Homo-oligomer: A and B are copies of this chain.
Amino acid sequence: MKFFCKQTDLSEAINMVMKAINRNSTVKIVEGILIESGDNKIKLTGYDLETGIEAEVAADITEEGSVVVESKIFNDIIKKLPDENIDIKVDDRFQVSINSGSVNFTIKGMDSEPYPKIPSVETENKIEISQKMFKNMITHTSFAVSTDTTRAKLTGLNLISDGHNLTLVAIDGFRMALNREQIGDDFPKMNYIIPGKSLNELSKILNDNDSDVVVYHSSNQILFDLGDVRLISRLIPGDFVNFDSIIVKNPKTVMEISRKNLLDSIDRAALLIMTDERRCPVSLAMPDSSTLLVSANTETGGHKEDIDISVEGDLIDIDFNAKYFIDALRNIDDEKIRIEFNGSQGPCIIKPVDGDKYIFLILPIRR
């Protein structure tokens, strides 16, 4: 194999595919980047056997072929080369020679033959979503994905289209994060569970502009096509938790509050919470219907402060894991929010003052 390409193009493509490389794999070859020659371009692939990323780079191919290179050293070398053309040659024994001006590197490559094949995805079932919107939806929900691998479905996010709205939901057993966007009237219906890790990597390569990502799917794989870059992920089989049933429709207490004031206050209370979070919660109490008293007491010290609110319904006095509130409040853009409580043991629900663009649900800690 032999080709020329631009240093900046190659370096950018390596960055993309490295996001899908697990450098602690037991399978040595998947710690590498697969490089294959194509039609006036080369294709780079990183694949950790769950998520695969392919990136294309415009190149002059003078000799066809393929090779696998160790990802870290290849990335380090290309990154440190001047912003000029790079000339790469691979010989029969997979020695990779990298040349740029007077600079020459030689590293050992590997035969690409044993590199695992990414499962193919049918390209008939396709939909288009705004990259910027989808990136936002992932950021605002994925923090609530479970890391408990014994409950496989909760390690994924549920992506649902009812034809009009696109909804992304994550649940970890103690809390839920839901984000919903209107997408039109004639959208294909969907209901998938996508691994949280894959969507996190996808969010890093999605653009902040208005271009679309094309999504293709088969029964067990999903492909996100951004043009020069593609991410392929397995789907998690089965049905997701029926989250609609856990959202209380008639709350006992409805509070309106400044998001920033509540976030700042819980952030401060959390300074004292250094040990086991269940034993050291943040407390929310209402001495009257226009005051929220936020407080925390641990071995380190005590904290308390008042925030102005307006309340309808029962006054509350309830304990929460500070981190769950902070995670939710940091992922809301609205200045004023609505929080619904359901007694000292029922879930607390954070919503917009109007509409249902997002719903964060947090279970309280029993006293």
Binding site for B on A (CB under 8 A): 73, 76-77, 80-82, 101-108, 264-265, 267-268, 271-272, 300-307
Contact = CB atoms under 8 A, between A and B. Distances in A.
A271 B306 CA distance: 55
A333 to B, nearest CB: 22
Contacts of A102: 305-307
Nearest to A299: B108
Given A73-B300, A300-B73, A305 B104 contact: yes
Given A80-B264, A103-B268, 9 more contacts: A73-B271, A73-B272, A73-B301, A77-B268, A77-B271, A80-B268, A82-B264, A105-B302, A106-B302
A301 B106 contact: yes
Contact of A103 (B76, B105, B305): B305
Given A80-B264, A264-B80, A303 B271 contact: no
Nearest to A105: B303
Contacts of A268: 77, 80-81, 103, 105
Nearest to A261: B102
Nearest to A301: B107
A82 B260 CA distance: 12
7 contacts: A73-B271, A73-B300, A103-B265, A104-B303, A104-B305, A106-B302, A106-B303
Contacts of A105: 268, 272, 301-303
A95 to B, nearest CB: 9
Contacts of A77: 268, 271
A270 B16 CA distance: 24
Given A102-B306, A306-B102, A80 B301 contact: no
Nearest to A268: B80
A80 B102 CA distance: 53
Contacts of A301: 73, 105-108
A107 B297 CA distance: 10
B304 A271 contact: no
A151 to B, nearest CB: 34
B267 A80 contact: yes
Nearest to A76: B271
Contacts of A305: 101-104
Nearest to A80: B268
A80 B82 CA distance: 44
Nearest to A307: B102
Which of A101, A302, A307 gathers the greatest number of chain B CB atoms within 10 Å?
A302
A106 B305 CA distance: 12
7 smallest beta-carbon distances between A and B, as pairs:
A107-B301, A106-B302, A103-B305, A102-B306, A76-B271, A102-B305, A80-B268
A313 B244 CA distance: 83
Contact of A304 (B101, B104, B307): B104
A300 B107 contact: yes
Contacts of A306: 102
Contacts of A82: 264
A309 to B, nearest CB: 13
B303 A80 contact: no
Nearest to A75: B271
